[in-house]
Structure formats: C-alpha cells, structure tokens
Amino acid sequence: MRTPIIAGNWKAFKTIPEALALVGELADSVRGVSGVEMAVCPPFTALAAVAERLRGTSIKVGAQNVYWEKQGAYTGEITPPMLQGLVDYVIIGHSERRKLFGETDETVNKKVHAVLAHNLLPIIAVGENLDENEAGKTGAVVTRQIRGGFQGLSADQARTCVVAYEPVWAIGTGETATPAVAQQACAYIRGVLREISPVYADAIRIQYGGSVNAENAAELLSQPDIDGALVGGASLKADQFAAICAAAG
C-alpha cells in the first residue's frame, strides 16, 4: 500500500510572520488526521522558522527548488547540504521553473541526483502544457520528462522518489483535470516507471496537481493511481489544506 502524500507548494507567498501564522493554524487543523503524509513547502526565507515551529508535529517540510552543486560561487543558489536537517522533501522541475527559469530534463535530473545523494526526497514534477495536451502529446511529454528525471537512478533511489503529475493548463487556473483524466495520466506514468524500475513502480507515489481544492480532492484522491496531491493556491489557507489532507487520510 502506498501512503498518500499531500504537499503544499506556497510558491513566492508568505513572509516569515505570515508563514508562522499559517503553519500554527494548520498544525491545529490537522490534529487527528492520520493515514496521510503531509508537507508544506514554504519559500526558502521561511524554511528555518517553519521547520522549527513544526518540529514534533505530523507535518513535514519541503523546499521548492535546489541547486545541484554542494557549494561554491553560485550567487543566489541554495544547495542540498544547506537543506539537510531543515526539510525532508524538495520539489524539482515544477512547471513554473521549467517555463520561467529555463529548467530542462537534464537540470532536473542533476537536481534529483544531488538531492538523493544528501538523503533528501525529490518530488519530481511533470506535465504537459495546453498546446501539447490539445495536440495529443501528453504521453510523449510525460514519458520524456519521467525518463529524463529518473535517468541513472538505482532502483532503490527510484523507489523513494515522488512524482507529481501536474498538467500545466490546470495549475492556478481553477480548471482541474477530471478524476478520470488525471487517473489515466497517472496510470500512464506508472507504466513508464514500470519500464524504468519494474520492481518498484508500484511503490512510487504519484501525486496529481492542478487546482486541487477541498471540494474536488476526495474524488481525485480516490483514483487507484493517484497517491496524493501537490497543492498550490489551496495550500495557502489552513482550512482548505487541512480538508484536502483529511480527504486523503
């Protein structure tokens, strides 16, 4: 059985005081929720404060990005050793990073290797944009992204990764993929994973992301190949995020 994982991607929202207020409220709201792994991914500036506030709770912490080198003259970058002890998870290859900051399957793969080498767990984001979707290229796009992201990983490493299937047209648009469409894509991704790692494909958790909210979460999360959600907008509201976590538990 795969334990569902709900992760909140806060993007570039929340100052340190705002972040502390949100996780304070969230920690209260999810008390009693079980059977689901929960994580919040605040901006780097709030990571230490949030990690400290959540110590001893059931909510884990993730980063939204990382650089692949250990250290060096890389102005503005954050490296895996800097995240050790602060976070469990690192989101890698979010579509906003691919689109706005030029990330490629190759850089995603370097980051995945770097994160795993430092005992952190990657959440590898994949998904097609609207044009690709309308051209019937969803399968080809996610196959390329999954093969690229998992390139060179051992089966043991592959097994610990989380995949987030996030159709770009559904992110921040309020246009959620239907449960059937999301399930079909996640099952397809599991098939690609099976080709890479036949032994562990059934252990790898695949999240759906794209306008998940308290109302649509339960039906999405009840699909057999959807093992959680990567949540943007709704993760900025404690009651909404807690309801999504409860729907997964």
**Catalytic sites, residue numbers:** 94, 166
Distance CA 204, CA 122 (A): 11
CB under 6 A: which stretch of 59-67, 151-159, 165-173, 218-226 binds ligand PEP?
Answer: 165-173
211 forms part of the interface with ligand PEP (CB under 6 A): yes
Q: Which is nearer to ligand PEP, 172 or 249 (CB)?
A: 172
Among the listed residues 184, 190, 191, 150, the one whose alpha carbon sits nearest the alpha carbon of residue 167? 184
Q: Is 231 in the site for ligand PEP (CB under 6 A)?
A: yes
Using the rule CB under 6 A, is 103 a contact of ligand PEP? no
**241 in the Ramachandran plot: left (φ > 0), alpha (ψ -120 to 50) or beta?**
alpha
> How far apart (Å, rounded) are the C-alpha atoms in residues 161 and 116?
9
Single-letter amino acid, residue 175: E
Count residues binding ligand PEP (CB under 6 A): 13
Give me the least distance between CB of 173 and ligand PEP, in Å please. 7
The stretch near ligand PEP (CB under 6 A) out of 18-26, 38-46, 216-224, 225-233 is 225-233
Point out which span in 148-156, 178-186, 217-225, 228-236 binds ligand PEP (CB under 6 A).
Answer: 228-236
Which among 242, 198, 188 is positioned nearest to 29, based on CA atoms? 242
User: What token pair was written down for 101?
Assistant: 């900051």
Residue pair 35/3 in contact (Cβ under 8 Å)? The answer is: yes
Count of CB atoms within 10 A of residue 200's CB? 18
Considering the complex, state which of residue 201 and residue 247 has its C-beta at the smaller distance from ligand PEP: 247
Q: Among residues 23 and 231, whose Cβ is nearest to ligand PEP?
A: 231
Residue 209 binds ligand PEP, judged by CB under 6 A: yes
Within 13 A of 16's CA, how many CA atoms are on the CB side? 9
Residue 243 found at the interface with ligand PEP (CB under 6 A)? no
Does residue 66 touch ligand PEP according to CB under 6 A? no
DSSP class of residue 169? Answer: G
- Please tell me the distance from the alpha carbon of residue 11 to that of residue 210, in angstroms, as a whole number: 14
For position 233 contacting ligand PEP by CB under 6 A, the verdict is: yes
Distance CA 31, CA 161 (A): 27
Task: Note whether 127 binds ligand PEP by CB under 6 A.
Answer: no
Residue type, position 223, single letter = Q
Q: Please, which residue, 148 or 228, has the CB nearer to ligand PEP? A: 228
3-state secondary structure of 2: coil
Looking at 29, 82, 232, 241, which residue binds ligand PEP (CB under 6 A)?
232
63 contributes a contact to ligand PEP by CB under 6 A = no
Does residue number 9 form part of the binding site for ligand PEP (CB under 6 A)?
yes
- Contact footprint for ligand PEP (CB under 6 A): 9, 166, 171-172, 209-212, 230-234
